[in-house]
Amino acid sequence: MSAETSNANTEEYEGRLLELIKDKPEGISNTNLKQCLSDVPLSDLTIVINKLLKSGTLELFKTKDDLLYKFKDPSKKTTVKGSDNEEKIVYKIIEEAGNKGIWIRDIRFKSNLNMTQLNKVLKSLETKKIIKAVKSVAASKKKVYMLYDLEPDSSVTGGAWYQDQDFESEFVDVLSQQCHRFLVQRMEDAVSQGGGPLMIRNRSYATSSEVQKFISDLGISKVSLSITDMESILYTLVLDNNAERTAALNGNGFLYKATNKFLPSPGLVKTTCGLCLVADKCAAAGSVNPRVCTYLTDWLNGS
Say if 162 falls within a structural domain. no
Summarize the confidence of residues 265-271 as an average pLDDT: 63
In total, how many domains does the chain have? 4
| Position 234 pLDDT exceeds 80 | yes
| Position 160 pLDDT exceeds 50 | yes
Domain stop point among 102, 132, 157: 157
More confident of the two residues 64 and 249:
249
| Position 169 pLDDT exceeds 70 | yes
**Dihedral angle sign, alpha carbons of residues 101, 105, 109, 114:** positive
Domain stop point among 46, 71, 96: 71
pLDDT in tens, 117-148: 899 999 989 888 888 988 876 666 678 898 88
Q: Look up the CATH number of the domain holding residue 207.
A: 1.10.10
Tell me, what's the pLDDT at 57?
77
| Position 152 pLDDT exceeds 90 | no
Tell me, what's the pLDDT at 224?
74
Q: Do 20 and 90 fall into the same domain? A: no
Confidence of residue 182 (pLDDT cuts 50, 70, 90): very high
Compute the half-sphere exposure of residue 277: CA atoms within 13 Å on the CB side of its CA.
Answer: 0
In angstroms, how far is CA 200 from the centroid of its own chain?
32
Amino acid at 293: C
Q: How many residues does the chain have?
A: 303
| Spatial separation of the C-alpha atoms in residues 216 and 171, rounded to whole Å | 14
| Spatial separation of the C-alpha atoms in residues 52 and 59, rounded to whole Å | 9
- The whole domain housing 273 covers 267-300
In terms of average pLDDT, the best of 32-46, 59-73, 140-154 is 32-46
Q: Do 207 and 248 fall into the same domain? A: yes
| Spatial separation of the C-alpha atoms in residues 102 and 146, rounded to whole Å | 7
Percent of the chain with pLDDT over 90: 10
Say if 244 falls within a structural domain. yes
| Spatial separation of the C-alpha atoms in residues 134 and 72, rounded to whole Å | 21
Tell me, what's the pLDDT at 24?
79
Confidence of residue 3 (pLDDT cuts 50, 70, 90): very low
Q: Do 78 and 151 fall into the same domain? A: yes
Contacts for 246-252: CB closer than 8 Å, 24+ residues apart: 246/205, 248/207
pTM greater than 0.75 (yes/no): no
Residues whose CB falls within 8 Å of the CB of residue 63, separated by 6 or more in sequence, listed in order: 29, 151
Tell me, what's the pLDDT at 6?
58
| Spatial separation of the C-alpha atoms in residues 53 and 277, rounded to whole Å | 70
Q: Look up the CATH number of the domain holding residue 82.
A: 1.10.10.10
| Spatial separation of the C-alpha atoms in residues 223 and 143, rounded to whole Å | 23
Summarize the confidence of residues 269-281 as an average pLDDT: 76
**Dihedral angle sign, alpha carbons of residues 116, 117, 120, 123:** negative
